[in-house]
Amino acid sequence: MYNPKIDFIYLSEQDMIKAGVTNMPACVDAMEEMFTLLHKGDYRMSGVNNDSHGAMVIFPENSPFPGMPKPTTDRRLMAMPAYLGGNFQTCGVKWYGSNIENKEKGLPRSVLMMILSDIDTGAPLAFMSANLLSAYRTGAVPGVGARYLARKDSRVIALLGPGVMGKTAVAAFIAARPEIDTIKVKGRGDKSLSEFISWVRTHYPQIKKLEVTDTLESLVHDADIIAYCTSGPIGAHNYPKVKRTWLKPGAFLAMPAGCTLDDDMKTPEVRKVLDNTGLYEAWFAEIPKPTHNYVPMVGMQFMDMIHDGEMSRDEIEDLGAIVAGEQPGRKNNNEIIVLSVGGMPVEDVAWATKIYHNAVENQIGVTLNLWQTPELR
């Protein structure tokens, strides 16, 4: 007879660290495994095409209710659900609360939680602190891209935005290309730059050169791997630019935040890769046009270009197909490749599942009881 008792584990941020959430090489491996399942179709996210980023509460510019939040920069209240098959066989949802003004209160910009559930009953398996979970899976995806799309002899990273996203992207790049020995960085203030430099020296003593630059052109000049990791107001005119004349042959650009490509970057010789084509198609169907004004990822610039007849749909490549071996990775040392990283809840489910199993195996976390028997059934 089925036992109706339900227990689950609660994992604080410190528990998550003990269970390995900051193990970037393992996270990159988990994302690589996830991308293979993504390409096979053994997953589900929300939306009519099963590829939606999630469901977000939208606040109006003007409300008659004085207590209603304003749509300030990077304010998000959002649920991101997904199912992932293969060896994962779990489902879950990340709850995303974010406001750039949190920093004035001594809080991270985002405060995140993850619920991991049994795919058969829907019963909770774990309730997790998810800031580190989200940060590491976000950084790990550019790392997967670097494994397949960066030059094997890559040594120089160019990073715009030395915050949390920038740090995890750097960690993933080094995991994917361990011969990296130089980091160029551009930030908004001395404090964040100083903290980033200290972090690099502590965790990656193999980095021989750290260079702070003042302009985007000097930042990306001679870089093998480039990542823009800053947040800011929406609107394509606000996003940091990339000009082809700034780039060396063979540059790989992994963009988990906003950017805009110049006309010379739009040509077919520049390869354009998406982390999941369906994600961008879902965004394109859901939001006003031009979509790049509302979703800052460069993949939305690609979608707008297709819509406007500036490029063919066939020019878009999919990272899952590349990881699965059905499309080529880097073809030569001179091609420039741009990877748009949109972020997906299947990534959270993948990394949360690995951490959950580590926690159970090592008896990490606090066991909580939902009920012995349900009052209503």
Residue 75, pLDDT score: 85
Q: Do 196 and 114 belong to one domain?
A: no
User: Is the peptide bond preceding residue 374 cis, with omega within 30 degrees of 0?
Assistant: no
User: Over the Cα atoms of the chain, what is R_g?
Assistant: 21
Condensed to tens digits (0 to 9), the pLDDT of residues 172-192 reads 999 999 999 999 999 998 999
Query: What is the CATH classification number for the domain harbouring 363?
Result: 3.30.1780.10
Look at the chain and report how many structural domains it folds into: 2
In terms of Cα–Cα distance, which of 274, 150, 296 is closest to 228? Answer: 296
Condensed to tens digits (0 to 9), the pLDDT of residues 244-264 reads 999 999 999 999 999 999 999
The 10 Å Cβ neighbour count of residue 1 is 3
Give domain status of residue 376, yes or no: no
Question: 3-state class of 80 per DSSP?
Answer: strand
Q: Do 207 and 82 belong to one domain?
A: no
Is residue 234 within 8 Å of 293, Cβ to Cβ?
Answer: yes
DSSP type of residue 293: G
Which tokens sit at 97? 């609360």
In terms of Cα–Cα distance, which of 287, 304, 10 is closest to 129? Answer: 10
Condensed to tens digits (0 to 9), the pLDDT of residues 41-94 reads 999 999 999 999 999 998 999 999 999 998 887 788 999 999 999 999 999 999
Q: Do 164 and 300 belong to one domain?
A: yes
Q: Measure Cα distances from 197 to 182, 184, 185, 272 in Å.
A: 12, 10, 9, 31
How far is the C-alpha of 189 from the C-alpha of 184, rounded, in Å?
A: 15
Q: Do 180 and 119 belong to one domain?
A: no
Which tokens sit at 317? 């490549």
Range of the domain at 310: 139-344
Give domain status of residue 1, yes or no: no
| Cα-Cα end-to-end distance for the chain | 16
Which tokens sit at 70? 């304003």
Regions of the chain with pLDDT less than 50: none
Q: Do 166 and 62 belong to one domain?
A: no
Q: Do 62 and 205 belong to one domain?
A: no
Residue 1, pLDDT score: 60
The 10 Å Cβ neighbour count of residue 73 is 13
Q: Do 263 and 337 belong to one domain?
A: yes
Tokens 């096979």 correspond to 40
Q: Do 199 and 323 belong to one domain?
A: yes
Q: Do 295 and 333 belong to one domain?
A: yes
